[in-house]
Each structure stands twice: as C-alpha cells, then as structure tokens.
Structure 1
Amino acid sequence: MIQSYDSANKNQPLIATDRAGQLLEQPAIDRIWALLDEVPDPEVPVVSVVDLGIVRDLSWEGEQLVVTLTPTYSGCPATEFIEDAIRDALHGAGIGNLRLQQRLAPAWTTDWITEAGREKLRQYGIAPPVGSASKRTLLGEEPDVACPQCGSHDTVQVSEFGSTACKALYRCNSCLEPFDYFKCI
C-alpha cells in the first residue's frame, strides 16, 4: 500500500492507495479543504486559494473529486497557475481522478476573502479590502484604508493600479511608506 501524507501532520496518512494508484478510501472533504488551504496564491503567496475564496466547492461524484473554482476575474493571468497548483497538490496527495470546473456566476468578490486571509494580507504589508463590494465602491467613494505598517488612516491613493490590476497603490502620510491596497471588487 502507498500512502500520501498530510503536510500539516506527517504521521497521519491523508489517503491510502493500492499499488495501481487506486484510492482505497476517499479522503473526507474537510481534509481536502485543509490540503487546499496550503496552496498559495501565485501573486500573493502568503494567502491560500482557500483564504481568497477561489475554491468554491468540493464534492465527490462517484470516485471523481470535483473542485469548483471561481477566478478573481475572468482575465486573471494567474488562473491557469492556480488550477495547475491545485491539480499538483491533489495529485501529490494521491487524488488522480479529479475534475476542475470554473463557476463564473456569481462573480468572485473580495467579500469572499476569509478573515484569516485579510489578516495574512495585512501582516504581509498589503491593506485588505475595506468594507464590502457594494455599489458605493462602483460609484467611486474612497475607502478609509489603514496603513498595514503603522495602522494610520491618514493615507492617500497614489495610483489606481498597484503591483497587479486588483490592487491600488497607496502611501501613508504618517510613516511615509507606500503599500498596496487590495481593492474591493
């Protein structure tokens, strides 16, 4: 019997397979969620694809694992990398019979970023989205963005676009540090 191990607990097998690579038992969905919570976003590697809310659903259809994903936006250049990373993580855990499918409706929103993900962004130096993706955001109301370095709210937007299209570049007037703000979408 071949065993694949859970990265969080090296002593307990995630799943077991026979010599032909067939699953002897399907891992529980919560174990798969935990595995995918270790797959980093390629653009902001301190947050996982689960933290960002990109992984929408996991289900077993017979012996096939179906992973439903919603990209952050339809033109995101990281979408293929994310799908490959998820596929690689699942294959590495011994799950070879899987299907990745995209669900575009409802569209991804920054509201789906977990609280843990928001804190990881802040600690990394990126201000997490403020509020929710409401109509006010679409009408151009400026958010009250706190500096992730010093916590000051005395900040100003320098550019509508930061290191990626989903971020804006801000500067703190207190500590004078520039930082990215993950825009509400």
Structure 2
Amino acid sequence: MTWYTLLVLAVAVERLAELVVARRNAAWTRARDGVEHGRGHYPVMVVLHTGLLAGCLLEPLLAHRPFVPALGVPALALALLAQALRWWCVATLGPYWNTRVIVVPGVRLVGGGPYRFLRHPNYVAVVVEGVALPLVHSAWLTATVFTLANAVLLTVRVRCENAALTRAVPA
C-alpha cells in the first residue's frame, strides 16, 4: 500500500502543478481579453477530483482492497498514459490551456498535437485516469462513483466549452 499511497500523492502534486500552470495561463489569457465561462461548475469539478484522490487512498484501506497484479499493472500503465496525454495537451495548448474555461475572442482553435485526433483529448485523459488510478489498488467503488459523477460533470463541461469556443473562435 505504501507505493500506491506514493503514487496517489504524486498525482496530487501533479494536480497542484496543474493549478500553478492554470493560474499563470489564466492571467495571460485575461490580459488578452479572455472571457471565463462555466464558473458555476468549477467548484464541483474541484470537489470531484479531490474526492477521487481521497477515495483512492481510503477505499483500499477501509475496505481492505488487495493489490491484484493482473488488474493493477495494466491500470497503472493506463494511469501513466493518461498523465502523458494530459501534459501533451498542456504543452500543445501552451498559454491557452487551463483548468477553467477561458477563451480569448478571435483566436483560432489549436489543431496540432492530440487535437489533430480528438476535440477534447484532455477529457479522455481525465476519464482514463478516473477509472485506472483507483483500479491500480482494486478501488472499484471509487472508480465507479467517480466515473458516473464525472460523466455528468463532463456533459456540462463539454457543452460549456463547445458553446464558448463557438461564440469566440472564427470559423
């Protein structure tokens, strides 16, 4: 369990790094007349993602979930791939990447990196991580609850982001 705790803590540190990047990028985009959309769902997203990390730590302890190598090893690989995809998105979007929906009017959509293949690759990373990270240590209840709640949240988030981009980005 110690190595799994370290993994989850490493993901938590990664999340803090994301927030530092997001704050810097938010200042950059706002300085260019960036407009934030969907402020109402952002606190829900923070609570949900914090809950994911807490569940990853608590469920294996409280429910005595074992480490099952046949499940845990592939789940670990997927969790690491999700991290790589997330940071590919961050690198591709550069100062336009954010944990919030902030759009600079008149800027064209990014079409490189993972955005060549998917409209919302960062959300693919979130979905994969939300299933894989808990399953590294058999936390199937956390994976299920997060996935269902995240599906609702992502429905709201993607609609918000698509609407914001449609209004602000030239065709």
Instruction: Report if TM-score (shorter chain) is over 0.5.
Output: no
**TM-score normalised by length of structure 2:** 0.28
More strand by share: 1
In the superposition, the TM-score normalised over structure 1's length comes to: 0.27
If each structure's helix is expressed as a fraction of its own residues, which one has the higher value? 2
The structure, 1 or 2, with the larger RCO (C-alpha pairs under 8 Å, 6+ apart) is 2
